[in-house]
Amino acid sequence: MTNNLKRIGTNSKNYAHQRLILNKIPHVRYVDLRFRNVFFWKNLHHWVFKYYLGLTKMSPSELYIKLFLKFKSVNNLFPKIDLIHFFNVINYSKNIPWVVSIETCLPHNHLMSNFIESKNPDYKNIKSDKYTIGVLKALSQDNCIGLIALSECTKNMQLEMLKAFPEFETILKSKITVLHPPQKLLINSIDQKGLSYEKDEALRFIFIGRDFLRKGGSEILKVFKEFSNDEQYKFELILITDINDKENFLFFNQKDIDNINNIISENPKWIKHYKELSNDKVLELIIKSHIGLLPTWMDTYGFSVLECQAGGCPVITTDIRALTEINNEELGWLIKFPANKLKHPIYESKKEFEICQEIIENGLRNILKDVFQNKQKIKEKAEASLNSIKTNHDEKKYTNQLKEIYEQKAFQEINKFHRKELTFSS
In the chain, the amino acid numbered 337 is F
Indicate the pLDDT class of residue 3, thresholds 50, 70 and 90: low
Query: Residue 163: what are its φ and ψ, rounded to 5°?
Result: -60, -25
pLDDT in tens, 120-148: 877 888 998 999 999 999 999 999 999 99
Q: What angle do CA 193, 198, 201 make, to 5 degrees?
A: 75
- What local confidence, expressed as pLDDT, does residue 61 receive? 66
Is the CB of residue 410 less than 8 Å from the CB of residue 233? no
- What local confidence, expressed as pLDDT, does residue 66 receive? 66
Q: With CA atoms as reference, report the closest residue to 198 among 394, 378, 46.
A: 378
Tell me how far apart the alpha carbons of residues 376 and 316 are, in angstroms, rounded to a whole number. 16
Indicate the pLDDT class of residue 8, thresholds 50, 70 and 90: very high
pLDDT in tens, 47-78: 666 666 666 676 666 666 667 788 888 876 66
Indicate the pLDDT class of residue 332, thresholds 50, 70 and 90: very high
In the chain, the amino acid numbered 29 is R
Listed in order, strand segments (DSSP E) in 20-81 are 29-32, 70-71
Q: What is the Cα 125 distance to its own chain's centre?
A: 25
Indicate the pLDDT class of residue 244, thresholds 50, 70 and 90: confident
In the chain, the amino acid numbered 181 is P
Q: Is the pLDDT of residue 418 over 60?
A: no
Q: What is the DSSP letter of 421?
A: P
Q: Is the pLDDT of residue 246 over 90?
A: no
Highest mean pLDDT: which range of 356-365, 406-415, 416-425:
356-365
pLDDT in tens, 347-359: 989 999 999 999 9
pLDDT in tens, 171-188: 999 999 999 999 999 999
Average pLDDT over the chain, rounded to an integer: 89
Listed in order, strand segments (DSSP E) in 249-355 are 271-274, 291-294, 315-318, 333-335
Is the CB of residue 200 less than 8 Å from the CB of residue 168? no
Query: Taking the model in full, what pTM does it have?
Result: 0.91
- What local confidence, expressed as pLDDT, does residue 176 receive? 97
pLDDT in tens, 290-302: 999 999 999 999 9
Distances (CA, A) of 420 to 123, 284, 423: 21, 56, 10
- What local confidence, expressed as pLDDT, does residue 281 receive? 97
Query: Residue 244: what are its φ and ψ, rounded to 5°?
Result: -130, 165
Q: Is the pLDDT of residue 423 over 60?
A: no
Q: Which residues pair with 333 in a beta bridge?
A: 316
